[in-house]
Structure 1
């Protein structure tokens, strides 16, 4: 499975147009958005016009209107469990973290290594949650879920300066960096490969 992973769009229409303009060249099976759209239906509409499955969670900078739009368009996976290409995608919202976490845990418990966990916040005490001030700003409960259920991947965002990837236990964890700065990640689960890209 090939995944285009983006996060932290922050109303950056120009970068979103550029990444969608090369989508056919990227040959992806699914687009994953780890939150912080920060704009309304225009950004979501741009994504919905693609011929590729899309899954997303709202970020902490998104409001409940954006969260509702994601649900109405059928791309929200926070507190849900959706099968795409042999993997069960589940998500944790950046708005209602602990409510959606309980539902995501049900999916993780049932499907374990066949799940892909999509979150806005990164796991705690990892390379992908370190702020400029050298503080770990991820969520310990996400680390717990990863260690306990060993999902295939955890795709997150939120900490702009902590762009990168690492393996926690058996789980490939990726923070692509903010699309608002032109960053994205290509994830190939068949090859266990992550390529951090810049537009």
Structure 2
């Protein structure tokens, strides 16, 4: 184990937990952070299986739903005490994680989609819970608009303007995102590092480290 505290960031699990067990040092991490899409249009029963497997690797979890999870999963995560959608949690190390799940509208009619105004309101509520923290990680299922993390085939940017506006205003240290599987990337908006580890089943994950110089993040593959 390294001398720094670190978190494992994953997303877009889509019922396939096979890669979690291949992540180096996952049991030594300060926690696992799931950015959304635990299931494939699934409800609580499917989400429970994902959460149980993740807890088998590390008991400390933060999670939220993505657009592919039914709304009932949001209430389940809250009941489990691990939900960061539209709220925030401060870790024992003093890092404030705040989240926004769901996604902006897609062409596919997925279970949990919302407009930019609603996304913006959730982001404001989430940030308010941790605004006092000097170190911040935004966990947004939808990537910010106009970055390497929100590009689909043909080069079209499909991220959220509300997420980008929040990042430009708040400037968290890290934004862990997902949703766009093919846009595995690290980018930056101002001082904020944007990181999309891509599809979990493909082995992608982010390692978020707290060291003497603050927070950093890097893309890894299991």
Place the TM-score, normalised by the shorter chain, in its bin: 0.7 to 0.9
Q: CA deviation at 1:51?
A: 4.2
Q: 1:102 aligns with which of 82, 106, 121?
A: 121
Match for residue 43 of structure 2? none
Question: Does the CA-based 8 Å contact 2:141-2:177 persist in structure 1?
Answer: yes
Match for residue 29 of structure 1? 30
Question: Does the CA-based 8 Å contact 1:113-1:149 persist in structure 2?
Answer: no
Q: How does 1:38-77 map to 2 (within 5 A)?
A: 38=39, 39-77=46-84
Q: Provide the C-alpha distance between the structure 2 equivalents of 1:124 and 1:79, rounded to a whole number of angstroms.
A: 19
Match for residue 109 of structure 2? none
Aligned residues: 196
Alignment of 1:90 with 2:98, yes or no, is yes
Find the residue that maps to 1:14 and give its secondary structure: coil
Find the residue that maps to 2:132 and give its secondary structure: helix
Alpha-carbon RMSD: 2.2
Q: CA deviation at 1:184?
A: 1.1
Q: Provide the C-alpha distance between the structure 1 equivalents of 2:156 and 2:136, rounded to a whole number of angstroms.
A: 29
Greater CA drift, 151-160 or 104-113: 104-113
Match for residue 178 of structure 2? 157
Match for residue 170 of structure 1? 191
- Structure 1 unaligned segments of length 5 or more: list them: none
Q: CA deviation at 1:149?
A: 1.0
Q: Report the structure, 1 or 2, having the larger helix content.
A: 1
Q: CA deviation at 1:49?
A: 3.6
Question: Does the CA-based 8 Å contact 2:195-2:218 persist in structure 1?
Answer: no
- Structure 2 unaligned segments of length 5 or more: list them: 40-45, 103-111
Match for residue 4 of structure 1? 8
Q: CA deviation at 1:23?
A: 1.6
Q: Provide the C-alpha distance between the structure 2 equivalents of 1:130 and 1:96, rounded to a whole number of angstroms.
A: 19
Q: Provide the C-alpha distance between the structure 1 equivalents of 2:52 and 2:119, rounded to a whole number of angstroms.
A: 24
Deviations 1:59-85 (A, max 9, x none): 110112322221111111011121112
TM-score (norm 2): 0.79
Q: 2:219 aligns with which of 175, 196, 199?
A: 196
